[in-house]
Structure 1
Amino acid sequence: MIRRLGPALVLLCCLSALSCGRSGGGESISVLGPWTGQEEQAFRAMFAGFEQATGIHVDYTGTRDARSVLGSEIHNGNPPDLAVLATPGELRDYAAAGVLRPVDDALKASDLRAQYGAGVGDLTVVPGPTGERHSYAVIVKAALKSIIWYAPGKLPADARIRLTAPGLTWKELTRVASGLGSSGGRPWCMGMEDTANSGWPGTDWIEDLLLHRSGPGVYDQWVAGTLPWTSAPVKQAWQAFGSVVAQAGDRGRILLTNFGRAGTRMFVTPPECFLDHQGSFITAFYGQALGRGNASPGPETDFDFIPFPSADEQDRSPGDGQGDGQGDGQGDGGRSGAGQGRAEEVAADLLGMFRDTPAARRFLAHLTTRAAQEAWIRRPASGAISLNRSVPVDAYPDALSRRIAGTLTAAGAVRFDASDSMPQTMAAAFDHAVLAYIADPGRLDALLADLDQVRRAPH
């Protein structure tokens, strides 16, 4: 909220333990987000120059319970000017409810197209309360999800050569993984536990499999709820995930192991597992684990990655025509960005505007600039990636981060994490179904039928 604070109001704010604008009066905007600790420091670095250049004070509140706090403040009729939204699903819900304000006027379309490339800006375009589509957020930072990690020093030499060969396909990866099973450890690291949100690492697996086997068009129909969960492409993605689970070891351990600790089993001697499917943010967990015995954990030396492999031609599943007839016409014949580069899955932190003010608009525009984006990604081990193509790769702190950024900027298609983009009831059912499937893979048909009932129900 923009406000001019006199001395009395400043004193009142401070006495009531509320955040205040700069002393002596001046414009101030309130921002709510989930970042604390080092992440909060990185975000503050993004807007330090903005405050100096404009004289606008950014009153940031960071809390790990940002979603609940935001919901309460909206309910009480006193939302912050701007708030970070954890998922595109939340973005859609708030936009449709009319509590979010469009940000189109705050951003120059020509600048966005030049900086972010075709399609990326569309990730934040959703229907408003009247059905008219607008951009309702800016992307503060992103994480690349379509990644498989390994520990170079722990991987047998022949497996490493095959794993890093150009044009690696899913079938060849499964052969490499099968061979690793005879090396003493499990081929795959896997953990599903994440307090109240357990199961999402499994949804990431299924999403990547569907995207790379069936292409962005089929993926979009599935996310939009027009492709049944019982359709052949979706079921085949679950079955492929099931084959990975079978190689990952004890199912009970998978269900109880925290997602951030699962991959650190690659680094012990002898390694307990060899391959980990996680987003670029996982490097922070790796760095913490390695830092206990190694003062300077090295990207590409201690841990490295390969892009999620493409499907073999004969294994591609272009869809079976079982949609509801409500698709968006954006299918590509089942090819994952065929002829246009790979498709990549991302997660992203979105900043939405709940109070439309000139200062809030200026702040949103600032966050999309190269200077603001570089302020966060320059920090070591952040795992953060910018979708702004004007950010040079040498802005990243190490060679591994530069390769991740290059993988994303070269993508022919970029898609948000599917479960993050689905209605919250659908996403929760997806998480729970993953846990049930791992516990009992024989229930797949029943689980998919149950998910389809949730899909058809009004949200």
Structure 2
Amino acid sequence: MTLIIRLLGPVQISRDDQPVQIRGYQQVALLAYLLITGKAHTRQHLVDLLFDHSDDPRANLRWILSELRRVIGGDYILADRQEVAFNFESDYWLDVSAFEAGQVELYRGDFLEGLHLRDAFRFEDWAFFERERLRGRYQAALEQQLAMLEQQGDQAAVVETAHRLLRLDNLREDWQRALIGAYARLGKREAALAQFEQCRHALQTELGIAPAAETVALAQAVQQGQIGSPPAEVSSPQRLPEKSWSRLESLLEQPFQAAPQPTFQTVSHRRSLSWTLLGVIGAISLVAGLVVALSSFLDLNSRADVSSEATVTVETTLAAGATDPASGTGGEAAPQDLAGTTVTIVGAVPDEVVKLFEQSMQPFEDRTGINVIYSSAGESFETLIAASVKRGAPPDIADFPQPGYMADFARQGKLIDVRTFLSEDYLRRQYPHAFLELATVDGRMVGIWYEAGLKSLVWYPKPEFEAAGYKVPETWDELITLSDQMVADGRTPWCVGMQDGDASGWVGTDWVEDILLRTAPPETYDAWVRHELPFNSPEVRRAFEILAGIWFKEGYVYGGKANIAAENPADSSIHIFENPPGCYLHRQGSWTPQLFFPKTVRYGRDYDFFYLPPIDPQFGHPVLGGGKIFAMFNDRPEVREVMRYLTTVEAARGFVEAGGFIAPHRNVPLEWYPSPADLRFAQIILSADTYRFDGSDLMPGPVGTGSFWRGMVDWVNGADLETVLQEIDQSWPE
């Protein structure tokens, strides 16, 4: 029974072609350390490595060892009272060893990608060094290969190799020029110009500079037809039936440009960190790469003031009605006497989102003098908000991820109706009617929407999907036929995972909601959300039964039915990037690439998505969404001004331009969306016949994020459907 261990890219461990699930990051970290160092270590050394702060670190180490041996098998770990080692005489295979022996293609991504131990700084330092060392070897091999291919004139191979290098660092202009030139010599002029535009955007966004003169000259030569010739065909992405969204379609018809991922750490900081670590560790293998980085950095100062007129851009004409940021507050400017006041906001977002929000609020703070403080409570959000309200000291504003939870406070009379200071005419100009409806509880509009999520999507591995000859389904019957064909081909269609701690089950509720919107009128969905239609009704039961036809069907789901309740949503999403793919279809929302996918993969090249097809044609193309809504606990002038600003498109601009974010505001300039993927998200929302928000988020908290979530888990684990539906109905508050 060979133990297969892949540490390059997201960690993947399997035995006899079956995935081995290691739940704790510390267990994975220990296994990786023993494998890479290749020797025995004292228990005290491992304690110092893995635990900076622990009441009983030795007991924790014993538990980690016990769990690791239980999961992967006792024969693989050697341990006595003093030392611990990996058994290198056992039957195992390690991708790092094969990679260092010359199998460069095994490099799927950075070493231990996505694995970080917050309270283990010694391990983090070691992992960082290994990550840079292996990345350096990979880069050196690819650079050597690129030079050889350019000499040979193999332009198609140059394109592939340059893409791989740019996944490591998209700010290297020599690699960008190699790719631009190769596209042009292949006759793909539009792709070459699109690549230049991507290069220009990355340099401007991350470093605030223009491309080098050599890069600009190359792009000008391509644009003037001095290199290569224009292609004969133009392709367009798969999309829903048209509804006259001409400006949007004009952008979608542009050549593919990969969506830039939000960057919250500057390149100069990353490089200075590498340099600091070199001084500590003396890693000679990184010097060559850092010399290149340093020379590039020195060159930046000479280019920082280069006029943007020296750049070449791919012209795209847009007629979007942008609003004037200076007049985007929805009323008069904030009174000057509000300078020096403070407004507190509490949400549940990651730290990097907090930083982006702070950047988005900076123009408002500069103009008004109001200090806006956003704090993230993470998983403790609901507990913190409830406790603060109970003691009479809530934050000024809460950023609710679940409107149903917001509605609980609205019904208690704790939230302010925004129409006391924002007119209905103004609000209708800012938001579509559906968003105003969904912000209203018992006749009071208690919230304003800031983000619109899109959930009705299916992600797939683009190259493997197309190589197998599969076609994107346009109906539910075609989706099931496609799934059956994949099983017949010896492949697994779906990946599903909904184990998410206290939030386990939300993946399942999303599926049920999407299916219900496709099998019943929207009025039925609305009645169900209000509990005017019970869970134990024919309409809702049918949605569960249709779902069972996918989730519980033999061969349909990665790891089988048992894996659905055992695997994390993030882990389940990355199986599409295995080689070969562990699955080919993964239903999840528009945020999936930013939150779940490896940073090395790119939309349009490594993956793509399609709209979850309709089931009953009479209900058209419904869309299930989500989003975030701000609600106001304290009514003060400065709090009103913050809420007023949040209704404007300018307040959302930073998020939209960062990518992976769809603003619910009207009149968002389409040029703000940085990628074809984001534009497709917007098109799907705008062309939907029905748009409804996540039902579990709209239901009362004890149901939507309580019994409904738990019921999904119980059902997957074998509970009778009738019993599950009755129990959810019985949990509904009076």
TM range (shorter): 0.7 to 0.9
Gaps of 5+ in 2: 1-337
Indicate the structure whose relative CO is greater, using CA pairs within 8 Å and at least 6 residues apart.
1
Note the 1:297-316 alignment, pairs <5 A. 297-313=601-617
Q: Which residue in the other structure is 1:124 paired with?
A: 439
**Cα offset, 1:55, TM superposition:** 1.0
**Cα offset, 1:87, TM superposition:** 1.0
Note the 1:210-289 alignment, pairs <5 A. 210-246=516-552, 247-248=556-557, 249-287=559-597, 289=598
Q: Distance in 2 between matches of 1:68 and 1:54?
A: 32
**Could you tell me which of 399, 403, 421 is aligned with 2:676?**
399
Q: Which residue in the other structure is 1:98 paired with?
A: 413
Residue 424, structure 1, aligned to residue 698, structure 2: no
Query: Are the aligned partners of 1:152 and 1:160 in contact in 2 as well (CA < 8 Å)?
Result: no
Gaps of 5+ in 1: 1-23, 128-132, 314-334
Residue 356, structure 1, aligned to residue 635, structure 2: yes
**Cα offset, 1:312, TM superposition:** 3.5
Q: Structure 1 residues 354 and 420 mapped into 2: Cα distance closer, same or farther (>3 Å)?
A: same
**Could you tell me which of 725, 730, 734 is aligned with 1:448?**
725
Instruction: Provide Cα deviations, 1:285-305, integer angstroms capped at 9, x if missing partner.
Output: 344x2x3xx3xx321222221
Q: Distance in 2 between matches of 1:285 and 1:98?
A: 35
AA in 1 matched with 2:607? F
**Could you tell me which of 652, 661, 665 is aligned with 1:384?**
661
Instruction: Provide Cα deviations, 1:333-377, integer angstroms capped at 9, x if missing partner.
Output: xx53x5xxx332111111110001111111111112111112112
Structure with bigger gyration radius: 2
Residue 75, structure 1, aligned to residue 390, structure 2: yes
Q: Structure 1 residues 25 and 405 mapped into 2: Cα distance closer, same or farther (>3 Å)?
A: closer
Higher helix residue share: 2
Query: Are the aligned partners of 2:339 and 2:370 in contact in 1 as well (CA < 8 Å)?
Result: no
TM-score relative to the length of structure 2: 0.51
Give the % identical residues. Answer: 30
Structure 2 residue matching 1:256: 3-state secondary structure: coil
Note the 1:365-376 alignment, pairs <5 A. 365-376=644-655
Residue 86, structure 1, aligned to residue 363, structure 2: no
Structure 2 residue matching 1:206: 3-state secondary structure: helix
Q: Which residue in the other structure is 2:213 paired with?
A: none
Q: Distance in 1 between matches of 2:376 and 2:498?
A: 26
Q: Distance in 1 between matches of 2:339 and 2:671?
A: 40
Query: Are the aligned partners of 2:354 and 2:375 in contact in 1 as well (CA < 8 Å)?
Result: no
Residue 26, structure 1, aligned to residue 303, structure 2: no
Query: Are the aligned partners of 1:85 and 1:91 in contact in 2 as well (CA < 8 Å)?
Result: yes
Note the 1:308-327 alignment, pairs <5 A. 308-313=612-617
**Could you tell me which of 712, 715, 718 is aligned with 1:437?**
715
**Cα offset, 1:272, TM superposition:** 0.6
Q: Which residue in the other structure is 2:358 paired with?
A: 44
Query: Are the aligned partners of 1:193 and 1:259 in contact in 2 as well (CA < 8 Å)?
Result: yes
Query: Are the aligned partners of 1:201 and 1:259 in contact in 2 as well (CA < 8 Å)?
Result: yes
Residue 183, structure 1, aligned to residue 183, structure 2: no
**Cα offset, 1:67, TM superposition:** 2.0
Q: Distance in 1 between matches of 2:658 and 2:501?
A: 27
**Cα offset, 1:156, TM superposition:** 4.3
AA in 1 matched with 2:436? G
**Cα offset, 1:269, TM superposition:** 0.4
Instruction: Provide Cα deviations, 1:66-109, integer angstroms capped at 9, x if missing partner.
Output: 22222111111111111112211111110110111111133332
Q: Distance in 1 between matches of 2:638 and 2:679?
A: 33
**Cα offset, 1:157, TM superposition:** 4.3
Q: Structure 1 residues 301 and 108 mapped into 2: Cα distance closer, same or farther (>3 Å)?
A: farther
Q: Distance in 2 between matches of 1:286 and 1:60?
A: 24
**Cα offset, 1:112, TM superposition:** 2.6
Query: Are the aligned partners of 1:387 and 1:409 in contact in 2 as well (CA < 8 Å)?
Result: no
Query: Are the aligned partners of 1:145 and 1:278 in contact in 2 as well (CA < 8 Å)?
Result: yes
Query: Are the aligned partners of 1:186 and 1:274 in contact in 2 as well (CA < 8 Å)?
Result: yes
Query: Are the aligned partners of 1:154 and 1:266 in contact in 2 as well (CA < 8 Å)?
Result: no
- Any runs of at least 4 consecutive aligned residues in structure 1 with deviations exceeding 4 A, and if so which? 156-159
Q: Distance in 2 between matches of 1:395 and 1:183?
A: 42
Query: Are the aligned partners of 1:137 and 1:352 in contact in 2 as well (CA < 8 Å)?
Result: yes
Number of residue pairs matched by the alignment: 391
Q: Distance in 2 between matches of 1:55 and 1:282?
A: 36
Q: Which residue in the other structure is 1:114 paired with?
A: 429
**Cα offset, 1:118, TM superposition:** 2.4
**Could you tell me which of 364, 372, 388 is aligned with 1:58?**
372
Query: Are the aligned partners of 2:461 and 2:581 in contact in 1 as well (CA < 8 Å)?
Result: no
Q: Distance in 2 between matches of 1:207 and 1:46?
A: 33
Q: Distance in 2 between matches of 1:252 and 1:399?
A: 37
Query: Are the aligned partners of 2:435 and 2:449 in contact in 1 as well (CA < 8 Å)?
Result: no
Q: Which residue in the other structure is 2:501 paired with?
A: 195
Structure 2 residue matching 1:300: 3-state secondary structure: coil
AA in 1 matched with 2:711? A
**Cα offset, 1:424, TM superposition:** 2.0
**Cα offset, 1:174, TM superposition:** 0.8
